[in-house]
Amino acid sequence: MEQTTLILKSFDYKGIKAIEFFFDYDQQLIQTLRGKFPQLTWSKTYRCWYIQENNQSIQSIQKLLADMNISSKIERIVSKQIRKNTEKKISQTSSNWETEILQFEKWLHSRRYSSSTIRTYLDAIRVFARFYSHKTAPTITNKDVIHFNTEYILAKKYSSSYQNQVVNALKLFYKTIMNKTISEDKLHRPRKENKLPNVLSKSEVKLILDSLSNVKHKAMLSLIYSCGLRRNELIQLKLTDVDSKRNIIIIRQSKGNKDRIVPLSEKIIVLLRDYYKAERPKEWLFEGQEAGREYSAQSLQKVFRAAVEKAGIKKKVSLHSLRHSYATHLLEAGTDLRYIQELLGHKSSKTTEIYTHVSTQQLQKIKSPFDDL
């Protein structure tokens, strides 16, 4: 009977310590793990199941190993604390690819790729390596990549964005480490999806913010909307990044390793001062439950979802919709697209131009011929 390889890794998931459960699709294994770990969550971004890493989750993993005969399924556990207590029960499997993958990881770090990009690329290469575990990295041909694309990605109906991530990772891996070129001509890259971002109206944003009674929660979501911040940009803000005298905040080393300055409105400065007086954070602008640690992305998502539900908003929106709404409302107020690009930290103006398709202000002025009937 074929067994499923289960990889457990300790990693930083958007600001929180977490344990990743990575394996090829196996419905029975999913049901088993969800039964053992009720808090098990699927990440669309990293395409893995994960739980928060703490003493309780570590004990649960130890119990799982003790209760079930799965030692042959577990390839490795990276967390030192977990490994220390379970190393006798875990079968460590060496990979034909690990040397090349390690070289690739070092190369990505040396080129200052972001931690999320490094993780995405390495995970993509490891999925490919497990698919071709019977081969070595140097022996892979273009036909092998095409076969993987057809028999794994397309067969499992993974998203086009994931397919592009894998193709990009493989191209870079073979170009930099193996000195080989992966031809795209026969890879059947998906056509780019032209999806418009979900945008909230000003009244809907107000409903969401007014639903929050907790000053910290209100300050976080208000700052995201008032400055068009990405989630991680908010979480990684420090007290020293806020300059209330100049009415600005400094976003440091954001996407693309770029710093940028964003203006603060008088209204948000008043709210931030009220928050500071109530909470007295020490280092991070928004601290988590543990002193000295930044607020977790997971908790921030929960705050937003609860606020949306309380506000009675039915449309499908995410925390990132506040950023989209900020850009759209600026455009509708007559702000030049070049300034919006700068405020959002977009490298290309083409990324910012999508908001011209979302804004309905000019469209609403168009009279339908139906009205003349």
Within 10 angstroms of residue 276's Cβ, the number of other Cβ atoms is 16
Q: Round to whole Å and give the CA distance between 65 and 84.
A: 13
**How do beta strands 6-13 and 74-77 pair?**
parallel
pLDDT digits (tens, 9 = 90+) for 305-325: 999 999 999 999 999 999 999
User: What's the pLDDT score for residue 84?
Assistant: 39
Quickly state the pLDDT bin for 28 (edges 50, 70, 90). confident
Cβ-contact 49, 61 below 8 angstroms: no
User: What's the pLDDT score for residue 24?
Assistant: 67
Q: Round to whole Å and give the CA distance between 150 and 245.
A: 57
* Terminal Cα-to-Cα distance of the chain (whole angstroms): 70
Q: Round to whole Å and give the CA distance between 253 and 230.
A: 12
For tokens 């000195």, name the residue. 179
Q: Identify the H or E element spanning 261.
A: strand 260-263
Cβ-contact 40, 148 below 8 angstroms: no
Give yes or no for residue 82 having a pLDDT over 60: no
User: What's the pLDDT score for residue 83?
Assistant: 40
Distances (CA, A) of 23 to 36, 258, 320: 16, 34, 29
User: What's the pLDDT score for residue 45?
Assistant: 65
Quickly state the pLDDT bin for 366 (edges 50, 70, 90). low
Q: Round to whole Å and give the CA distance between 356 and 331.
A: 8
Residue type, 25: Y
Q: Round to whole Å and give the CA distance between 307 and 210.
A: 9
Cβ-contact 36, 60 below 8 angstroms: yes
Least confident interval from 84-98, 206-220, 319-333:
84-98
Give yes or no for residue 345 having a pLDDT over 80: yes
Least confident interval from 102-106, 126-130, 368-372:
368-372
What is the average pLDDT score of the chain? Answer: 80
Least confident interval from 1-10, 19-28, 336-345:
1-10
The whole-number average pLDDT for the span 235-248 is 91
Rg (CA), the chain: 24
Residue type, 65: L
Least confident interval from 91-100, 145-154, 264-273, 323-332:
91-100
Q: Round to whole Å and give the CA distance between 286 and 312.
A: 26
Q: Round to whole Å and give the CA distance between 291 and 300.
A: 17
Q: Round to whole Å and give the CA distance between 249 and 287.
A: 17
Question: Which neighbouring-strand residues pair with 251?
Answer: 260
pLDDT digits (tens, 9 = 90+) for 108-145: 989 888 777 888 888 888 888 888 878 888 888 888 88
Q: Round to whole Å and give the CA distance between 105 and 91.
A: 24
Cβ-contact 46, 118 below 8 angstroms: no
User: What's the pLDDT score for residue 13?
Assistant: 67
The whole-number average pLDDT for the span 154-181 is 85
More confident residue, 35 or 372: 35
More confident residue, 362 or 237: 237
Annotated catalytic residues are 230, 255, 320, 323, 346, 355
For residue 364, give the DSSP letter: G
Give yes or no for residue 206 having a pLDDT over 90: yes
**Burial of residue 223, with CB atoms counted within 10 A of its CB: 0-12 exposed, 13-18 middle, 19 or more buried:** buried
Three-class SS state of 121: helix
Distances (CA, A) of 152 to 79, 135, 149, 162, 288: 29, 16, 6, 12, 39
Residue type, 373: L
Quickly state the pLDDT bin for 91 (edges 50, 70, 90). very low
